[in-house]
């Protein structure tokens, strides 16, 4: 069945997106395959070593899922509500760093060990980005800030006066921030060495309710946002957008028009351009192979 096309006043139209440079986009709900339905209420995904680490709000559990077979097992319990998961290797096993939105904390998890609270007193922590071997950047959706948080729990303000910041991505010496609460400031960029210098740097304006950000191996910046109640994935070339002083909705290439209800809380892209996505309100997690 053909999908209905919604046209909004700020200029995103399916007929325009379909004429993008790849010729293979946009994808639709019919292109998505159900990857797993074993997670009650998935609300954040991290990819590492061909596995997905999925935070489930329904039972406050982290699941480990083989990204090829969908085989799923329980990794640990005790995370209240996580919208993003950062995974790294430690002593030959995965180590998870998770902003816990429910408990306003940053937690560290190692397989077989207890959940360790590293930092407390955050203000609606949502996104996480690896800054250097000792520090992370954490976005506070309710506090309109991004903080530097060390592995020992020390905190320092990185930038404030944001608009409900959600997803974070570091691109060399720049930070991209998804402002969930502002269409005018949908995605901004900041210099890691001097984030408070000058005015805010606009990367993209004109899209609604931006949540997840992913910088993929093809060089594009992918992001989840909403068209009405529908969850959508778009992408831009961040270098071009910076050079032109910020892109608009007309510059967005639509990657996926889903029929899932926004927000698309979980979004991750594997190095081979397999895209994994889910809604905040659906137990099913979907995947699709992006054109290279």
Q: What is the pLDDT of residues 254-266, one digit of tens each?
A: 999 999 999 887 8
The pLDDT score that the predictor gives to residue 292 is: 79
What is the C-alpha to C-alpha distance for residues 103 and 122, in angstroms, rounded to an integer?
A: 8
With tokens 């180590």, the residue in question is 95
**Residue 118 CA: distances (Å) to CA of 92, 141, 143, 167:** 21, 19, 19, 20
The pLDDT value given to residue 36? 74
* Distance of alpha carbon 261 from alpha carbon 46, whole angstroms: 21
For the chain, domain boundaries: 14-40+121-278+284-288
Note the CATH number of domain 14-40+121-278+284-288: 2.120.10.30
Give the phi and the psi of residue 138 in degrees, each rounded to 5: -125, 130
Q: Is 179:185 a contact under the CB 8 Å cutoff?
A: yes
Q: What is the rounded average pLDDT of the residues 196-223? A: 90
Amino acid 110: pLDDT: 86
How big, in percent rounded to 5, are the helix, strand and coil portions of the chain?
5, 50, 45
Which residues are CB-neighbours of 26 under 8 A, at least 6 positions away? 14, 17, 18, 20, 253, 254, 255, 256, 257
DSSP summary character for residue 73? E
pLDDT value at residue 18? 36
Q: Looking at the predicted structure, is the pLDDT value of residue 77 above 90?
A: no
**pLDDT tens per residue across span 80-89:** 999 999 999 9
Output the CA torsion sign for 24, 26, 30, 33: positive
pLDDT (average), residues 42-68: 91
How is residue 178 written in tokens? Answer: 């998804």
- How far is 263 from 206, CA to CA, in rounded Å? 17
Inform me whether the pLDDT recorded for 234 exceeds 70. yes
Q: What is the pLDDT of residue 16?
A: 41
201-204 vs 42-48, strand pairing mode? unpaired
Confidence of residue 19 (pLDDT cuts 50, 70, 90): very low
The answer, yes or no, to whether residue 72 has pLDDT greater than 80, is yes
**Across 11-31, average pLDDT:** 60
Whole-number Cα distances in Å, 191 to 136, 168, 177: 15, 13, 11
The whole-angstrom separation of Cα 124 and Cα 103 is: 8
Of the chain, the end-to-end C-alpha distance in Å amounts to 26
Separation of alpha carbons 23 and 140, rounded Å = 38
pLDDT at position 37 is 61
pLDDT at 122: 98
């Amino acid at each position: 069945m053909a999908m209905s096309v919604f046209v909004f006043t700020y200029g995103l139209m399916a007929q325009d997106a379909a004429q993008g440079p790849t010729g293979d986009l946009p994808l639709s709900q019919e292109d998505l395959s159900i990857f797993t339905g074993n997670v009650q209420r998935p609300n954040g995904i991290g990819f590492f070593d061909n596995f997905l680490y999925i935070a489930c709000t329904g039972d406050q559990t982290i699941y480990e899922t083989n990204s090829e077979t969908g085989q799923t097992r329980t990794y640990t319990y005790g995370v209240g509500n996580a919208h993003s998961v950062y995974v790294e290797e430690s002593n030959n096993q995965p180590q998870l760093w998770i902003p816990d939105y429910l408990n306003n904390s940053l937690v560290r998890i190692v397989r077989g060990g207890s959940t360790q609270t590293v930092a407390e007193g955050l203000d609606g922590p949502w996104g996480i980005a690896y800054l250097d071997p000792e520090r992370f950047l954490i976005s506070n959706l309710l506090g309109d800030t991004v903080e530097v948080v060390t592995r020992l729990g020390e905190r320092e303000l990185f930038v404030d006066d944001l608009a409900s910041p959600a997803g974070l991505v570091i691109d060399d010496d720049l930070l991209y921030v998804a402002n969930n609460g502002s269409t005018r400031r949908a995605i901004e960029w900041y210099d890691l060495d001097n984030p408070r210098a000058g005015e805010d740097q606009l990367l993209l304006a004109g899209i609604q309710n931006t949540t997840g950000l992913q910088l993929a191996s093809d060089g594009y910046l992918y992001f989840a946002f909403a068209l009405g109640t529908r969850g959508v994935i778009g992408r831009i070339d961040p270098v071009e957008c910076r050079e032109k002083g910020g892109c608009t909705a007309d510059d967005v290439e639509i990657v996926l028009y889903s029929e899932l209800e926004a927000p698309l809380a979980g979004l991750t892209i594997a190095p081979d351009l397999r895209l994994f996505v889910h809604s905040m309100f659906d137990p099913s997690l979907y995947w699709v192979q992006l054109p290279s």
